[in-house]
């Protein structure tokens, strides 16, 4: 039982939905879904990500930035102009709401990389160079933080209840084929705009319910590959691990899931010979990427959606399908709010990924 004014620290709400045929739908659906789980939030953080929201700039990277003050805005602009071809820069549209106060500066840039920057890092991919830019802004420019940096997608987050954050950013005006949402209860970290979920890098975005007790091990491991955690929240490591495992190391989703939430050693010893050898190898090669602690996560990317529980399923997750729609949420009620009669509803097993793949109309 909670006393008046007391908040449930075991909370956090996650929701994700996607059209596997790639058909866009407005953001009011994901707002309705996450609003049902208001009691799992605390008003200290909420956020969303939409994929396919910038079709007119689909070939450009869309940088969404949180800026604490004017000097941070000027420094970030100067850095981006020095390294990127800016096609468009503008404030992120918002509406005034009494529920959202003390907001930072929120801006977005649509950009490509300058040829001279690509020549400087000639032995790296374009995506690797973009990661360099994000890491530099987050580490070196005081008061500047990159919310998202992918193509044809964007993260919108802040301090408040998620349904208020959604209305603040006017998400009903955006159309996406995939949406994620989060209502946050900060477990071990302070409440601030950059610390709200989702966490993003390139086209990866992660929402998370739980706590990553292996954070420091994961963080040190990632630093070997050029990733630096600066947002003061454990979930940040999950996003960077997704980029490392599935983009840089090209691991299939199923294999990456067994890295993040592997079987216990005792379970591995009971596997058939071939599976046992693979499981042992993954545990040893990627020991620093294993996630310990209770978690349920939904990972978004430009071509799909991934849901994953920890290996003992200490946080809830419900999945559902209806036609070409895939839904993932902390509670079935969040799915029922937008899809009252799904074709199938199930609870994924511990460590078993739920995988959605977007088949774009032009694919």
- Predicted local confidence at residue 216, as pLDDT: 95
Q: Give SS3 for 48.
A: strand
Residue 151 backbone dihedrals phi, psi, to 5 degrees? -95, 135
Biggest alpha carbon distance in the chain? 61
- Predicted local confidence at residue 1, as pLDDT: 40
How far apart, in whole angstroms, are the C-alpha atoms of residue 260 and residue 352? Answer: 11
Of the listed 12, 84, 229, 242, which one is catalytic?
Answer: 12
- Predicted local confidence at residue 343, as pLDDT: 98
**Reported confidence tier of residue 184, pLDDT bands at 50, 70, 90:** confident
Q: Is residue 12 annotated as a catalytic residue, yes or no?
A: yes
Domains of the chain and any CATH numbers = 13-357 (3.60.20.10)
pLDDT of 63 strictly over 80: yes
Mean of the per-residue pLDDT values for the chain? 93
Q: What does pTM read for this prediction?
A: 0.94
Beta carbons of 358 and 22 less than 8 angstroms apart:
yes
**Reported confidence tier of residue 186, pLDDT bands at 50, 70, 90:** low
Q: What is the pLDDT of residues 266-289, one digit of tens each?
A: 999 999 988 999 999 999 999 999
Q: What is the pLDDT of residues 78-122, one digit of tens each?
A: 999 999 999 999 999 999 999 998 899 999 999 999 999 999 999
How far apart, in whole angstroms, are the C-alpha atoms of residue 171 and residue 179? Answer: 10
How far apart, in whole angstroms, are the C-alpha atoms of residue 62 and residue 68? Answer: 19
Match 């994961």 to its residue by tokens.
218
């Amino acid at each position: 039982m909670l006393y008046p004014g007391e908040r449930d620290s075991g909370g956090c709400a996650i929701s994700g939905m996607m059209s596997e045929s790639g058909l866009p739908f407005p953001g009011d659906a994901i707002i309705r879904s996450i609003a049902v789980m208001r009691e799992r939030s605390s008003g200290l953080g909420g956020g969303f990500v939409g994929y396919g929201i910038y079709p007119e700039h689909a070939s450009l990277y869309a940088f969404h930035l949180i800026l604490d003050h004017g000097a941070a805005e000027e420094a970030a602009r100067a850095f981006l102009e020095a390294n990127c071809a800016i096609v468009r820069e503008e404030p992120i549209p918002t509406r005034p709401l009494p529920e959202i106060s003390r907001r930072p500066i929120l801006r977005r840039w649509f950009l490509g990389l300058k040829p001279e920057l690509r020549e400087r890092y000639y032995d790296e991919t374009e995506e690797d160079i973009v990661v360099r830019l994000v890491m530099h802004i987050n580490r070196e420019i005081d008061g500047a933080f990159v919310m998202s940096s992918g193509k044809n997608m964007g993260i919108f987050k802040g301090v408040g209840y998620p349904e208020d954050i959604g209305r603040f950013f006017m998400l009903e005006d955006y159309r996406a084929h995939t949406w994620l949402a989060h209502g946050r209860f900060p477990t071990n970290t302070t409440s601030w705009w950059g610390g709200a979920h989702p966490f993003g890098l390139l086209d990866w975005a992660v929402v998370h319910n739980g706590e990553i007790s292996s954070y420091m091990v994961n963080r040190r491991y990632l630093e070997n590959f050029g990733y630096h955690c600066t947002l003061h929240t454990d979930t940040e490591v999950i996003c960077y691990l997704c980029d490392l495992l599935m983009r840089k190391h090209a691991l299939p989703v199923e294999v990456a899931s067994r890295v993040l939430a592997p079987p216990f050693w005792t379970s591995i010893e009971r596997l058939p010979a071939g599976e046992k050898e693979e499981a042992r190898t993954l545990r040893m090669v990627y020991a620093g990427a294993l996630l310990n602690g209770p978690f349920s996560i939904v990972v978004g990317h430009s071509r799909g959606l991934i849901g994953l529980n920890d290996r003992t399923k200490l946080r809830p997750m419900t999945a559902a399908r209806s036609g070409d729609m895939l839904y993932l949420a902390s509670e079935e009620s969040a799915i029922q709010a937008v899809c009252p009669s799904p074709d199938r509803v199930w609870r994924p097993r511990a460590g078993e990924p739920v995988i959605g793949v977007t088949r774009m109309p032009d694919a």
